[in-house]
């Protein structure tokens, strides 16, 4: 089974985590170029999975519209919310405390070279995790992510996805609302979808959820879905104050 180096870097500002996953992503892409151009220097690429809980931030994907951010910079500053246009797919979304964000940096040559299939795999990891909590979830036609009551007037999104890929190497990933304060979502058109709601696991279950328990389920389901083994990272993130 392919090993994937795992680390949970805790609560980190968006830019710091973005820079870190970019470093790992570029290392993989660069090594793949070396492997192709100079086989005598070939090395196996390393796969990674990062869990992080962000400080409040809105991020706008490459295909997003700036007017889907409904408040101005002064309002964001007053509420302590950062804003970044980023290089992933998708539209605008929110990250913040109580949300588990997963960033797989995978060389898809180890698995399959199909981005649509990759997105469905990530969705399935979350769908399986929700099933552990007794919730049946699924996909909404033409709308990436994980939904409850998809295809009904009560459809609501519980997990957003957005990825970037180059030379079959991935970065960015999924944002799973667990104990998330949903009030910030009123400042955006979430994922560019104006006619459907956003929800969080703690709202669906009516209680605060143990984040570590959810993380354990996500890790187990990630291993099962991708046929891999998560191992401790040999390139741990160094916090700014460490």
- 164, part of any domain: yes
Active-site pick, 17, 100, 171, 191: 191
Least confident stretch, 99-108, 186-195, 209-218: 186-195
- 138, part of any domain: yes
Write out pLDDT tens, residues 208-218. Answer: 999 999 999 99
How far, in Å, CA of 55 to CA of 87, rounded?
19
- 34, part of any domain: yes
For residue 53 the two structure tokens come to 């809980």
10 Å CB burial of residue 40 (0-12, 13-18, 19+) is exposed
For residue 123 the two structure tokens come to 């969705």
- 241, part of any domain: no
Write out pLDDT tens, residues 45-92. Answer: 999 999 999 999 999 999 889 999 999 989 999 999 999 999 998 899
How far, in Å, CA of 138 to CA of 205, rounded?
17
- 238, part of any domain: no
- CA 18, 23, 24, 25 dihedral sign is positive
Residue 1 scores a pLDDT above 70: yes
Indicate the Cα dihedral angle 90, 213, 52, 49, nearest 10°. -80
**191 included as an active-site residue:** yes
Range of the domain at 93: 2-232
3-state secondary structure of 103: strand
Nearest by Cα to 199 from 183, 215, 212: 183
Write out pLDDT tens, residues 124-164. Answer: 999 999 999 999 999 999 889 999 999 999 999 999 999 99
- 71, part of any domain: yes
Indicate the Cα dihedral angle 85, 87, 93, 98, nearest 10°. -110
How far, in Å, CA of 77 to CA of 58, rounded?
12
Across the chain, the runs of DSSP E, i.e. the strands, are 2-12, 47-54, 57-60, 82-85, 92-95, 99-105, 138-140, 143-148, 156-166, 169-177, 197-198, 228-232
- 49, part of any domain: yes
> Can you give the pLDDT at residue 235?
92
- 7, part of any domain: yes
How far, in Å, CA of 77 to CA of 184, rounded?
13
Grade residue 241 by pLDDT with cuts at 50, 70 and 90. low
How far, in Å, CA of 86 to CA of 105, rounded?
16
CA-to-CA separations, 143 to 32, 85, 138, 231, in angstroms, rounded: 32, 20, 11, 32
Domain count, the chain: 1
CATH number at residue 122: 3.30.930.10
């Amino acid at each position: 089974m392919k090993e994937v180096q795992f680390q949970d870097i805790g609560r980190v500002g968006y830019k710091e985590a973005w820079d870190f996953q970019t470093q790992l992503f570029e290392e993989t892409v660069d090594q793949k170029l070396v492997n192709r151009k100079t086989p005598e220097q070939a090395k196996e690429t390393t796969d990674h999975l990062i869990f992080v809980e962000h400080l409040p931030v809105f991020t706008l994907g490459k295909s997003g519209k700036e007017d889907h951010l409904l408040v101005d910079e002064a309002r964001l500053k007053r509420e302590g919310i950062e804003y970044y246009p980023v290089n992933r797919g998708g539209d605008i979304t929110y990250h913040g405390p109580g949300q588990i964000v997963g960033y797989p940096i995978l060389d898809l040559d180890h698995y399959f070279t199909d981005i649509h299939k990759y997105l469905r795999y990530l969705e399935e990891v979350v769908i399986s995790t929700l099933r552990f909590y007794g919730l049946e979830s699924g996909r909404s036609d033409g709308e990436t992510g994980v939904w409850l009551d998809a295809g009904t007037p009560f459809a609501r999104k519980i997990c957003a996805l957005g990825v970037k890929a180059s030379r079959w190497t991935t970065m960015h990933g999924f944002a799973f609302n667990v104990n998330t304060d949903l009030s910030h979502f009123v400042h955006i058109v979430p994922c560019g979808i104006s006619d459907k709601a956003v929800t969080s696991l703690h709202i669906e279950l009516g209680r605060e959820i143990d984040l570590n328990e959810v993380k354990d389920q996500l890790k187990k389901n990630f291993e099962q879905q991708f046929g891999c083994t998560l191992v401790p990272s040999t390139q741990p993130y160094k916090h700014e104050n460490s």
